[in-house]
Each structure stands twice: as C-alpha cells, then as structure tokens.
Structure 1
Amino acid sequence: MSNRVRKDKDSHRKLWAVLFVIVSLFCIIFFVARGRFQAPVSSKAALLVLSPFQQAVSWVGSQVSHVTGSIWEIVTVHEQNKMLRNEVEQLRVQNLEASEALAENERLRTLLGYRQMMTQFDMVGARVIGRDSATWSSVIIIDRGQKDGVNTDMTVVTEKGLVGHILEAGWNTSKVQLILDPRSSVGTIVQRAESRVAGIVQGDLDNPTMPQMVNIPKNADVVEGDVIVTSGFGGTYPKGIVVGLVSSLQNDSGGLLKIGLLEPAVDFQKLEDVMVITESREAPPEPIKPPAQTPGTETDPAAQAAAAKAAEENPQ
C-alpha cells in the first residue's frame, strides 16, 4: 500500500515538473519572439493567460534581488563593525599607554625637582620592579644595583620622604628594607623647634602600614600632628628627611615611656619610583656673624687696631 502511495506522489511530481518546463519554454519563446513581430489578436489572450506567470517571475526576481541586497548590506555592516571594534580597541590601548606615560612623566618630573632641590645629596633614580614574597609589606626590589653605584645601607627616598635603606645590593637589582619592617630602626627627632625630642622609628607587626616612634619620655613635648624627621644619629640615614606625622600617642607597657603611632609620609601601596642617595654632604652651616661692638669694648683685633690708629691720627 505504501509503495502505491509513493508511486502516485512520484507521478504527480513528474507531471508538475513537465508542466513547469512546458510553461517555461513557452514564456521564453514568447518573450524572445515578442520583439521581432507584432503579436496578433490571439496573442493577447496568451498574454492574459501568461500575465500571472510574468508577475510571479517578476515578484520572485525582485524578492531575490532584495534578499541578495539585504545579505550584502548585512555582510558589509558586519565587516564595518568589526573594523570599528578593532579601531576602538586600538584607541583604548593607546589611551591607556598615553595615560600611563603621562603619569610616569609627572612622577619623574617631581623626583627630578626634588633631586635638584636637595643639592647636598647625590641621587640615582630607580623603579620598583617587585616585592620580596617572604616579606611582602616590608621589602621591595628596585632596578638599580652595584653597576649604578648602589651599595648596601644607602638611603632610599621619594620627594615625599623616607622609604628605607638598601638591604642587599646585587649587580643590577637591589633589595630595599622599608621603614615598615619591624627589623628596621631609624633615628628620628621631632621637627618642631620647641620640642626636638629624639626617638626611634620601627615597624609594627600588629599594624604593618603604620610604624611606631618608641623610646619617647613620658613627659616629652610630643603632640599629635608633629612632623618626625631623621636625626642623623647612627650614620645610616642623613639628617632632616621626613619620616611621617604623629597620628596618636599612647603609653608603653611599662608606663615610663610613650609610643607615637606614625602616618608615613610615603604611600607604600603606591610606590613606583624612588631615589637612592649615593652620597650625602651635610649642608654647611651659615657663617656666624659677630654682634655689633660698642667703641672701647672691641674684641676683634682688627677693630682694635683701627681704633688705635684713629686715636693716633686724632689725639685729644
């Protein structure tokens, strides 16, 4: 039964195919002959019969043309979007590179200004290239070493203040121990002229981002907001480099001394470029000017000789 139904369907398909071929040939012959002779009256009937086929063919052609044009537009728009996305990505990368270069230039310009201002120091610029994995918060690695004149115990600074000192100096890289390291010890003094209280700044294990100033006498003149600078004691750090500000004060466990919690002058989380002090020359003191002397009480030999000569020339 199924074979018979299949044969019937096949025969119907063949019939329709033959009719389609005949109609197509007729249309082709008609359109070819149309331009060569005048169609008789009987051909008008054929035109009337073939008109629906012509309209169908025309509609199919227009649809095919429309679909082809739409596909081409889609392909073109897709390619244009791809090109625009690539251009946007390139511009984004260029913008990021330009912003990074601008920020780096600004940092280096600031460091250069600091080096030109601090004439008592010879300094070498360096870039932070890593942190010691064992002591992440207290030791950094810079891209300068012995070939650049960098050696152990040299002071490391930025334009804002003290960073630390060279812990190990390799040939082209060095390790820097930050003042945040509990193993570090920096001799410091209160910058305020009325105070000048000395102490030691070292890192705190319980608060690794804020060092402590210890060994402060209980009755010492130290208040919150005081600027703490290096004292120059010990020989490692030159005198007068800013360490930080006193954030708070508290008594130590014994009750005889005070501890000052410091806010570092340097933001160690954003540390990218530093300066290594390779040579330090303390600024020469200003010459002492003697006080004005009243006549007859001169202690300067030159002044006394001048007074004696004046007395000889004008005897009374």
Structure 2
Amino acid sequence: MYHKVVRRRMAAAGGLLVVAAGLFVATAGERTSVTWPERVIGDAVAAVQGWLYRPAGAIGEFFGNLRDLQNVYEENAVLKASLHNYFALQAQVNDLETENERLRKIAGLMQSPRGKTLIPANVVDRQPDLWHDILTIDVGSAQGVQKDMAVVTADNALVGRVWAVHDHSAVVQLLTDTSRQPVGISALILGVGPTPPLGIINKVSPDQRTVQMTSIGMDYDIKPGLTVETSGYGGLFPKGLIVGTVSSVMRGEDGMTKTAIVRPLANLDNLQEVFVVRRNGG
C-alpha cells in the first residue's frame, strides 16, 4: 500500500512538473529572461526526463541486441547450409572425377593393345577364405572366354589367369594364389640395359602380397622400383601386361641366379571390373 501511494505521488509530481514546464515554455516567448523558478523547474523536468529516458534507452538497446543476435543466428544457419551444400557438391565432383578417370583408362585400354581382344567383366563373387586366391567373373564361354586367358585391370595390370570356365561365368586364379599349382609367367624387367633380363614368376610370398621372379642372371644390376611386365614367351600371357614393380632383390636358391621380389601393380584386394585378354583368333 505504501509503495502504491509513493508511486502515485511521484506520478502526480511528474505531471505537475510537465504542466508547469509547458506553461513556462508557452510564456517564455514574451520575456527576455528566465526566472529562477523557471530554471529550477526546467532542471527538475530535465532530471525527470533523463530518469525516464535511461531505462527506455536500455530497454531499446536490449531489444536491439536481441534483433542483432537473431540476425547472427539466421546468418549462421545460412552459412552452415551453404557449407553443407559445398561439401556435398565437392564429394559429387570427386566421385565424377574418379569415374571419369576410370572410364578414360578403360577407353585407353580398349584401344591400345594390338593383336588382342578384351572381354570386359564384373567381379561377382569372392570368398573371404580365398580372397587372395580366386574370384568369379560374370563372363564365360558364351562370351568367348577360354581357360588360361590372361585377366587384367583397366591399368593393363595383370590380375591372373582364367582357371575354370562356365557358360556365363568363369573362375580367375589370382597372381597371389597359393592353393593351386602356380603358373610360370615369363617376364622381363624394364630399364636394365639394352637387353632386359628375363625370369619366371612362379612363387608367392607367405603373406600373399608379393610374388617372386626367379632365374634372373647374376650379371644384371636390378634396382627396386623397376617395372616388370610379361614377355610374351610361352604363348600363355601376351607381351606387355604389367605385373608390378621390383621391391627387393636377393640371391636365388641355387646360388647362381637372382630372385626379384615383385609387388603387383593391380590392387588385388579391391577388384570390381576386369578384362579377359585373348589374342585375336584365340
């Protein structure tokens, strides 16, 4: 009750001050000087107006800050959405570039070999316990596939050979297979003098990550990083298929030759599309 009385009295006093200020302003034009009551009332009115203005200004500033905060929040949401769209578009661009590069390699492979016919195939089955040994493709004798034909990737990297053929599918023996009789691949090492050294790829390392090229002459200076490709001798694998690169060299088991450890170029852990290679008329 007391506070209500005080508020009423303050409101009444404020009203009187405003009325008095209005009267003094209305009659000030008729006089050349301001009397001391006018100065006192003017100062009081100014004080009351300042007392009323400061809370109003603070409230206005508070709501202004709220509007600014809302604008910042909305701008932040727009930026987040734009950033998300950017990353999504970038991912799509990367996928398209990868697909474009894959198709370019396939087109180049289909056009480059002479005297060879390529049969495209998809990998349709791989067993976990035989992951480094065999895989199944979706082409067979109906598409011209025959036993012992070479199988390569879009990079012309040797994968292995056709081991068994059905009407519309075939089983491919990988380079790193250790569960079947290994096939000797006649190969040569490029970049070693005018006559590349020859050897036979007929062994697989215990971890099935590399193969061994044996029977290399002791006189050749073979360094890691050199490319190994099929020689074409023997008639099983056409010449020029890339086997991989030399990772290390050691003395052969007979003590009279060298053995090169070769890491396959083909990513045998991740094969989706391959090509069966046959000679024209084969």
Please report the TM-score for the alignment, with normalisation by the length of structure 1. Answer: 0.62
The whole-number CA distance in structure 2 between the counterparts of 1:188 and 1:227 is: 11
Deviation at 1:195, TM superposition (A): 6.7
Q: Is 2:258 the counterpart of 1:263?
A: no
Are the counterparts in 2 of residues 204 and 211 from structure 1 also a CA contact under 8 Å?
Answer: yes
Q: Show structure 1 runs of 5+ residues with no match.
A: 1-13, 284-316
Partner secondary structure for residue 49 of structure 1: helix
Q: 2:188 aligns with which of 186, 191, 199?
A: 191
Which position in structure 2 is the counterpart of 1:241? 241
Which position in structure 1 is the counterpart of 2:230? 229
Mapping for residues 208-219 of structure 1, pairs under 5 Å? 208-214=208-214, 216=215
Please report the TM-score for the alignment, with normalisation by the length of structure 2. Answer: 0.68
Q: 2:11 aligns with which of 24, 28, 31?
A: 24
Pair 1:117–1:22, CA change in 2 (3 A): same
The whole-number CA distance in structure 1 between the counterparts of 2:100 and 2:73 is: 40
The whole-number CA distance in structure 2 between the counterparts of 1:17 and 1:172 is: 99
Please provide the CA RMSD for this pair: 4.5
Deviation at 1:33, TM superposition (A): 9.5
Mapping for residues 1-316 of structure 1, pairs under 5 Å? 14-24=1-11, 27=14, 46-125=41-120, 132-136=127-131, 138=132, 145-146=138-139, 149=143, 155-158=150-153, 159-165=155-161, 177-183=173-179, 185-191=182-188, 194=195, 197=198, 199-206=200-207, 208-214=208-214, 216=215, 224=222, 225=226, 227-229=228-230, 231=232, 233=234, 235=236, 237-246=237-246, 247-252=248-253, 259-264=259-264, 266-268=265-267, 274-277=273-276, 279-281=278-280
Q: Show structure 2 runs of 5+ residues with no match.
A: 28-34
The whole-number CA distance in structure 2 between the counterparts of 1:129 and 1:77 is: 53
AA matched with 2:54: W
Number of residue-to-residue matches in the alignment:
262
Say which is worse superposed, 63-72 or 147-156, in terms of deviation.
147-156
Are the counterparts in 1 of residues 205 and 211 from structure 2 also a CA contact under 8 Å?
Answer: yes
The whole-number CA distance in structure 2 between the counterparts of 1:26 and 1:272 is: 93
Deviation at 1:157, TM superposition (A): 1.1
Say which is worse superposed, 185-194 or 28-37, in terms of deviation.
28-37
Deviation at 1:179, TM superposition (A): 1.1
Are the counterparts in 1 of residues 186 and 232 from structure 2 also a CA contact under 8 Å?
Answer: yes
The whole-number CA distance in structure 1 between the counterparts of 2:121 and 2:213 is: 28
AA matched with 1:81: N
Deviation at 1:274, TM superposition (A): 4.3
Pair 1:25–1:108, CA change in 2 (3 A): farther
The whole-number CA distance in structure 2 between the counterparts of 1:155 and 1:220 is: 29
The whole-number CA distance in structure 2 between the counterparts of 1:28 and 1:165 is: 105
The whole-number CA distance in structure 1 between the counterparts of 2:135 and 2:11 is: 86
Which position in structure 2 is the counterpart of 1:298? none
Are the counterparts in 2 of residues 145 and 174 from structure 1 also a CA contact under 8 Å?
Answer: yes
Are the counterparts in 2 of residues 139 and 177 from structure 1 also a CA contact under 8 Å?
Answer: yes
Deviation at 1:85, TM superposition (A): 1.8
In terms of Rg, which structure is larger? 1
1:104-129 superposed Cα distances (whole Å, 9 cap, x missing partner): 31232122112101143333446779
Pair 1:282–1:190, CA change in 2 (3 A): farther
AA matched with 2:274: M
The whole-number CA distance in structure 2 between the counterparts of 1:35 and 1:172 is: 105
Name the % identity: 21
Pair 1:25–1:105, CA change in 2 (3 A): farther
1:216-248 superposed Cα distances (whole Å, 9 cap, x missing partner): 38x67766257341546485x445423234541
Are the counterparts in 1 of residues 199 and 213 from structure 2 also a CA contact under 8 Å?
Answer: no
Deviation at 1:213, TM superposition (A): 2.4
